[in-house]
Chain A
Amino acid sequence: MLSRTADHLYWMSRYTERAENLARLLDVTHQMSLVPKSVDAENQNWGAILALNSLESRFAETYDAVNAENVLRFMVTDPNNLSSIFSCLRAARENAHAVRGTLTSETWESCNMTWIDMRGQKFEQIMSTGIGQFFEWVKLRSAVIRGVTFGTMLQDEAHYFIRLGGLIERADNTARILDVKYHVLHHNGDEGATDFYQWGALLRSLSAFEVYRKVYRDVITPARVAELLMLRLDMPRSLHACTRGIVRILETIKNDQSAETERLAGILHAHIHYARIDDILKQGLHEYLTDFMDRIYELGEGISKDFLMLSSGNQ
């Protein structure tokens, strides 16, 4: 398959996954903000989202204060912010358009319709209907695109590159959400009921609340939340599930120059596979996740270099 074709498929998938996870992150932040606390503390939480994506200076160019409304506007509908949900859905659609002939018409149409619907929404309107409903819509559209793609497309190379893009993005995003929220929650030292709602919101944002109940049948503790989202192989959004998927796909699509990338993926997978949550927490979760995200980034670079176009402008 042409590298350019693979590149468009891979990025179509990454941008869709990114929009979904951004909706998840913003949703949990929004929900956590509903629990009473000081204005400063709340604005700090919104600021953390900008910091997480290194967007503080871009944000400051247009907005004067870091608060819920400004950050949401910037991250949801701002077309000038290339990391906004709006921009991600646009980029996903543009990549799909370029390889329309490779996609089934259902995949193309679901991607195109998502963009057309997004384009028609104004921020004020989203806020007045309830932003939670909008985040639900983004997650739903992402699920539709994924479902239609894997439900209709031939399981050839195209399929693997779509899957690979989704997994790389998801691994990175899960690590990010956990990093920023775990940090805030753990150091607030909240007790009792508040604590329960906060951790509950984090789990829900990763569709892991019911899963947690089922797996642990016990009270929510930070260490178990981290374990579930990082180390559980059977949890589809966990780091472990993502890295295993990545390793398997790389084995399938490997070429003459991809040995090093395969090796990096294998190391990263083993790292997670044989890890124990106690050791990770002792070492420092933040340090561990930062290292993980660096390695995922490196892996993405390797995949681009070995299989895809280097000058496509996607990132």
Chain B
Amino acid sequence: MKNRFFNEMYDAAGTVRPHYRAYADWLANTPAERIARKRAEADIAFHRVGITFAVYGEEAGKERLIPFDIIPRIIPAEEWQALQRGLRQRVKALNAFLHDIYHDQHILDAGRIPREQVIDNAQFRPEMIGIDVAAGIYAHIAGVDLVRAGEGEYYVLEDNLRVPSGVSYMIEDRKMMMRLFPELFSRNKIAPVQHYPDMLLENLRTVAPQGIGNPTVVLLTPGAYNSAYFEHTFLAQQMGIELVEGRDLFVDDDTVYMRTTRGPQRVDVIYRRLDDDFLDPLAFRKDSMLGVPGLLSAYRAGRVTLANAIGTGVADDKSIYPYVPEMIRFYLGEEPILNNVPTYMLRKPEDLKYVLAHLPELVVKEVHGAGGYGMLVGPASTKEQIEAFRQRIVAAPEKYIAQPTLALSTCPTFVESGVAPRHLDLRPFVLSGKNIDMVPGGLTRVALREGSLVVNSSQGGGTKDTWVLEN
């Protein structure tokens, strides 16, 4: 049982892997009381700074702390190099795909992806057809979820191309580790991550509309009741840009302005943390109080850049996910470096038949779902739960995909009973502008419940600092 999962720290024989040796030594030689004291200190500090998130479905306004674990996830340099190449390749292809489907649709003409899968997708935005976005970039910020399975192979679980969140935890986790255990950073050569906000700002500035010398960048938030509001205030403050709400902006003559005490000030780039549907009540949801009337029109006129672009959701939809390797071959003429998880599409009768017969082994997900809501993890579910989910699938098979249950890798983690292996994933944040760039590593999420494979913070997940070791 112990060897069923790839352990990041120990090999099959129970020996510490080379890149974890320095840390394991330190852990073995540090008194348990010191560790306990530091863990308590971390808890207090996170509470005081207010690094919390709101949970949907719980009492309104209630905020929870995301548990932080002090055992880092360590990635050797060569392994990261390979991952980085794979991520660059994948995000490049996804951006090419988005440009293509909103322009000439070559990939659909070539029959590589069924046309109706794209055009009839709820996330496809006909409003975007024919619009030339700045620098041809759609997904400026991508949060690509990676997992490690089996013998240590990485797989892409999903490409988050709309408003991926979590980067503030990556930065705060690092800050916390450096504060609690400075000695670890002198013993190990750990690639820094705290310059992410600078990279992001630089990236956003390079995609300003043409002819703007010194662009004004703002961060658009849905407001204080959004679950990621802490991150919005954090990033705006770190980048030194204004944190605006929809009502702070207005559009006049296809130009976006913010209302300031010195009068209207033109806005050139909007890093928006607001879903497409809410951006502009004149174009999308009429009842949206969060958006800016006329924003789409200004955007279409090329007077403002939205990051990410409108309509990126079609490329990270779970029904499109199986075709990403095909996009890489089609646009780049390369073989994919990162693996896709084999995926059954339940709209296909033969896939549906197979999946219904194997539900206890599979993970079934809603095509448009996110955040770990509305999914079935076969091996972790009761008979009743599986049967209930079966009814939902049969009622609307096209709404679901299924994947084999991956044996996600584990990492030793502090839990109530001591230190025990828990499952992990990794979300690097890939920035696309003039270049495609990222800080080494990303956010490591860990499923704290024993045996759980769901790492989402809304489902009881925690985080770890992620170290990419430099040679």
CB < 8 Å neighbour of A255 from B233, B243, B245, B263: B263
Which one of A1-9, A17-25, A63-71, A187-195 is at the interface?
A1-9
One digit per residue, 1 when the CB lies within 8 angstroms of any chain A CB and 0 when it does not, for chain B 247-270 equals 110000000001111110000000
Given contacts A2-B242, A101-B237, A309-B247, contact A161 B261 (CB under 8 A): yes
Instruction: Provide the residues of chain A in CB contact with B258, threshold 8 Å.
Output: 2
Report the bound CA distance from A3 to B242 in whole Å: 11
Instruction: Provide the residues of chain B in CB contact with A101, threshold 8 Å.
Output: 233, 237, 243
Number of interface residues of B (CB under 8 A): 15
CB of A262, distance to nearest CB on chain B (Å)? 14
CB of B223, distance to nearest CB on chain A (Å)? 9
A311 interfacial contact with B, CB 8 Å: yes
Q: Which residue of B lies closest to A160 (CB)?
A: B261
B247 touches A157 (CB 8 A): no
B244 touches A2 (CB 8 A): yes
A1 touches B247 (CB 8 A): no
Instruction: Provide the residues of chain A in CB contact with B242, threshold 8 Å.
Output: 2
Q: Which residue of B lies closest to A257 (CB)?
A: B263
A3 touches B224 (CB 8 A): no
A199 interfacial contact with B, CB 8 Å: no
A311 touches B261 (CB 8 A): no
A61 interfacial contact with B, CB 8 Å: no
Report the bound CA distance from A2 to B257 in whole Å: 11
A255 touches B262 (CB 8 A): yes
A117 interfacial contact with B, CB 8 Å: no
Report the bound CA distance from A311 to B263 in whole Å: 16
Report the bound CA distance from A91 to B69 in whole Å: 39
Report the bound CA distance from A308 to B261 in whole Å: 7
CB of B260, distance to nearest CB on chain A (Å)? 6
Instruction: Provide the residues of chain A in CB contact with B263, threshold 8 Å.
Output: 255-257
Report the bound CA distance from A260 to B97 in whole Å: 55
CB < 8 Å neighbour of B259 from A4, A97, A157: A4
A253 interfacial contact with B, CB 8 Å: yes
CB of A277, distance to nearest CB on chain B (Å)? 37
Q: Which residue of B lies closest to A256 (CB)?
A: B263
Report the bound CA distance from A51 to B224 in whole Å: 38
Instruction: Provide the residues of chain A in CB contact with B245, threshold 8 Å.
Output: 4
Q: Which residue of B lies closest to A4 (CB)?
A: B248
A11 interfacial contact with B, CB 8 Å: no
A113 interfacial contact with B, CB 8 Å: no
A307 touches B247 (CB 8 A): no
A98 interfacial contact with B, CB 8 Å: yes
One digit per residue, 1 when the CB lies within 8 angstroms of any chain B CB and 0 when it does not, for chain A 171-188 equals 000000000000000000
Given contacts A253-B261, A255-B263, A307-B261, contact A3 B248 (CB under 8 A): yes
A98 touches B233 (CB 8 A): no
Q: Which of B199-257 contact A (CB under 8 A)?
A: 224, 233, 237, 242-245, 247-248
Report the bound CA distance from A2 to B259 in whole Å: 6
Report the bound CA distance from A257 to B261 in whole Å: 10
Instruction: Provide the residues of chain A in CB contact with B233, threshold 8 Å.
Output: 101
Instruction: Provide the residues of chain B in CB contact with A257, threshold 8 Å.
Output: 263
Find the residue from B243, B245, B247, B262 having the highest chain A CB count within 10 A. Answer: B262
Find the residue from B224, B243, B247, B259 having the highest chain A CB count within 10 A. Answer: B259
What are the 9 A-B residue pairs with the smallest beta carbon separation, nearest first? A3-B259, A307-B261, A6-B261, A255-B262, A255-B263, A1-B261, A256-B263, A4-B248, A2-B248
A sample of 29 cross-chain residue pairs with beta-carbon separation below 8 angstroms, ordered by A number, consists of A1-B261, A2-B242, A2-B244, A2-B248, A2-B258, A2-B260, A2-B261, A3-B248, A3-B259, A3-B260, A4-B247, A4-B259, A6-B261, A97-B224, A98-B224, A101-B233, A101-B237, A101-B243, A157-B261, A161-B261, A253-B261, A255-B261, A255-B262, A255-B263, A256-B263, A308-B261, A309-B247, A309-B259, A311-B247
With contacts A1-B261, A2-B244, A309-B259 known, what are 16 further pairs, Cβ within 8 A?
A1-B260, A1-B262, A2-B248, A2-B259, A2-B260, A3-B260, A4-B245, A4-B247, A98-B224, A101-B233, A255-B262, A255-B263, A256-B262, A256-B263, A307-B261, A309-B247
Which residue numbers of A lie inside 8 Å of B, CB to CB?
A: 1-4, 6, 97-98, 101, 157, 161, 253, 255-257, 307-309, 311
